[in-house]
Structure 1
Amino acid sequence: MQGQRGIILIGIILLIGLFAAQIQAEPTVKLHGFTQATVIKTQDNKGFVFDFDRVRLIAKGKLNDLAEYKLQVDFMKTDTDVDKDGETPAIIKDAEIKIKVYENIKVSVGKFKTPIGMEFCASGAKLDLVKRGLGQALVFERNVGAMVHASKLGQIGFGFAAGAFNSGPNQANTVGDPAKGNDYTVAGRLSINPQKVVYVQTYFGSALTSVDQQESVSIFGVGTHVKLMKELSIKGEFMSRTDAQNNDADGTDFYAQAGYLLHPGIEPVVKYEQLDVTNDAMDQANITVGFNYYLNPDNIHQTKIMINYVESDLDGQDAIQLMVQAVF
């Protein structure tokens, strides 16, 4: 019933927004995307392997004064039938419609990222290292649903997000039964960003189930990003997931990361991360040392070269990673 009430509330807010203002603007469209070419050698592999991480095409724009849209596809997923949510085509990363209901408050419907995980919710084109961290084994990933969200409210830059999604997110897609009518994935996030120097967020979610002999999956976490002296950037995040059905995703993840701009186009980055789950064989601790070269310091993520060395406490998991990114 809680999930149903949440969906009804989102529907009411959406209707209020639609009737609150007149539709006047002409539709717009903007095409952009990015390519990430990689060269990777792991300790168990004698040679370097050339590949791509992401090949994305994105269309987004405004339909009118109240509505905007986003469609993102990943050509690296053309041979993967079903995405991590267990339902939608993997090639469709985002299919989102946003309705403005008041000032900076919007309602999104469709497929998009759940508000779980600071690193996960960062754009794949704006990462500080070649790969996202070990915590991606715990987050809820993208899903189909509806979410109310806002940002940059007040002097402290308050933001929030609250959504209801289909049952069974990433790593929990066997939890719940859509036919039951009560088995939704719910997720929320609260954040502040005072003076754009310190950003702090906390998030929480649950994959609900009414299936016999199943337990709901819950997750919570906190993350922060601090910018000092314009050159120094510090990030950290902790998350904890309780998942009785999956020992590989039942546990905690923590990372601390620092980057320093030696020059507008040169940035070394260091990250420590530790994943600790019920299945001891999946426990892992990594130290990553990275070097980023930004070809356009005025737009650092437009064209960049990233070189990482990953030292892992698991046998055979040390790696050298190189990525060249172009955003258009």
Structure 2
Amino acid sequence: MKKTLITAALGLALPTVAMADDPDKQQPVLFGYMQIAGSQQFGTGGPEGMVFSGNRIRLGVKGQAVRGVDYFFHYKWDRLWQSSILNSTYNNGQGFALPGANAGVQDAYLDIHLHPYLSAQAGKFRIPLGLERVQYSGSGLPFIQRSMTQSLGGNRSIGVMLHSPNLYKTKAYYAVGIFDNHSVDAGSAFNSYNVALPVGGGQTQVGGVMSNGSGRYLFSAMVGYRPSSMFNVALSGARADAAQLYTLNGVRVPAAKNVSAWTIGVDGNIHGLKYLAEYAAVSSYGGIEGLGATDWYVAGLANLHEMHLTPDWLDLEPAIRFEQFQVGSNAGLAAVSKAARVTSMAGLVNGATLDNLTLGVNYYWNPKNPNAAKVQLNYVIPSRSSAWRAAGRNIAPGNGYVYNTMVVQFQTAF
């Protein structure tokens, strides 16, 4: 295995094929965006009111280092309910805690163009799993929050990926990669609680270099076909070695050998009518043998300006999305239901289902650059949510927590 890794490293270090400099990449490009949100939840039974937050604040730089080598660096300051030196939890001494800012390196990678239809990407970035998760940036989301498929995806990890956006001009694309055996960012099916450690028992750290791996890896791949802006389809999958959990809160459960996930999604824009649909499934959810989880959603948007129904100054886009998240045990594991307070999993009651209907409208200041300045208004209507709201029974999946909530978000980007 070490010989294989050394060979791969030498291959990445070899000079790339001769390519002309891209004038658009020769100078570093500074980019970023800011999203400020206000939200109001209804029917909580306690004090209610509007609360403001910084949802996503990003700053990055990208460009061409030398001929055939691009770079991308992206930093985040998310969830700015308030500032915190530790970027974790602030407590006022009276038992009342609020989360602090979530800051850190979001992406950092280089992209080596080995061939017109083959590039090698190395660093921290999104693993190729999930159409919405991979192909929609935070500034270009049609809804304020991503779908709940994020809990069944892989988010970001550190590794190497081979890819091409248009293989031999066929409109087909692919990406395949090998990564450290976990998601660097939490809130996914491959977080550090569910999968085996990527480091070995003799691990030492030399500066920022890790010296001994465990021989466990996360593998992920995506293939897709995009003949035009009207239609795009992507199929993706991933697997990682599971953590050998034998007890959850003192309850013995069978541990899985690996965690696997797959998704299929479609999207497109037909003269202003936009659609997006995706299905995601995970087996051995949480590293537990026989426990499965699924999510599916369908979304539609109608850009009235693109449909020539409104003037330039009124670029409105009504939007609707229906989504269903479910956790169930194929093996009928009663033990899973007993282990009720494990925070590493989204949903522990066998067969629990959460439906979310999101109604929204987007307003763009400039139709020619819609994401530069926009306002999004979303209202999330849940159903069958009682099992998820009961304290100690279920932990809501990622982006599934905004029950009966009205959210307005202001965005600027450059």
Q: Does 1:91 align with 2:104?
A: yes
1:128-207 matches, within 5 Å, as 128-169=142-183, 170-171=188-189, 172-174=191-193, 175-178=195-198, 179=200, 181-207=214-240
Partner of 1:74: 76
**Contact (CA 8 Å) 2:242, 2:287: kept in 1 or not?**
no
- Which residue among 4, 11, 14 is the counterpart of 2:12? 14
Mark the CA change 1:50 to 1:106 in structure 2 (over 3 Å): closer, same or farther: same
CA distance in 1, matches of 2:7, 2:242: 21
Listed one character per residue, the Cα deviations across residues 83-102 of structure 1 (whole Å, up to 9, x for unaligned) are xxxxxx95100011111111
TM-score normalised by the chain length of structure 2: 0.70
- Which residue among 318, 326, 330 is the counterpart of 1:276? 326
Partner of 1:86: none
Listed one character per residue, the Cα deviations across residues 276-300 of structure 1 (whole Å, up to 9, x for unaligned) are 1132386311000110000010111
Aligned residues: 316
Mark the CA change 1:9 to 1:139 in structure 2 (over 3 Å): closer, same or farther: farther
**Contact (CA 8 Å) 1:155, 1:194: kept in 2 or not?**
no
TM-score normalised by the chain length of structure 1: 0.87
Identity %: 24
Partner of 1:110: 123
Mark the CA change 1:12 to 1:219 in structure 2 (over 3 Å): closer, same or farther: farther
Partner of 1:325: 411
Partner of 1:220: 262
Secondary structure in 1 matching 2:144: coil
Displacement over 4 Å in runs of 4+ = 4-10, 22-27, 209-214
Amino acid at match of 2:179: F
CA distance in 2, matches of 1:235, 1:75: 28
Mark the CA change 1:38 to 1:192 in structure 2 (over 3 Å): closer, same or farther: same
Mark the CA change 1:80 to 1:160 in structure 2 (over 3 Å): closer, same or farther: farther
Q: Does 1:289 align with 2:359?
A: yes
Q: RMSD across aligned C-alpha pairs, in angstroms?
A: 2.7
CA distance in 2, matches of 1:35, 1:273: 27
Q: Does 1:31 align with 2:30?
A: yes
CA distance in 2, matches of 1:139, 1:10: 27
- Which residue among 275, 293, 297 is the counterpart of 1:255? 297
**Contact (CA 8 Å) 2:242, 2:257: kept in 1 or not?**
yes
Listed one character per residue, the Cα deviations across residues 201-257 of structure 1 (whole Å, up to 9, x for unaligned) are 0000001258585521100110001322x110111000101125357x841010000
Structure 1 unaligned residues grouped into runs of 5+: 82-88
Mark the CA change 1:142 to 1:97 in structure 2 (over 3 Å): closer, same or farther: same
Listed one character per residue, the Cα deviations across residues 108-155 of structure 1 (whole Å, up to 9, x for unaligned) are 111011111111121000000111111111111111111111112245
CA distance in 2, matches of 1:155, 1:24: 20
Secondary structure in 1 matching 2:133: helix
Tell me which moved more, 203-212 or 115-124.
203-212
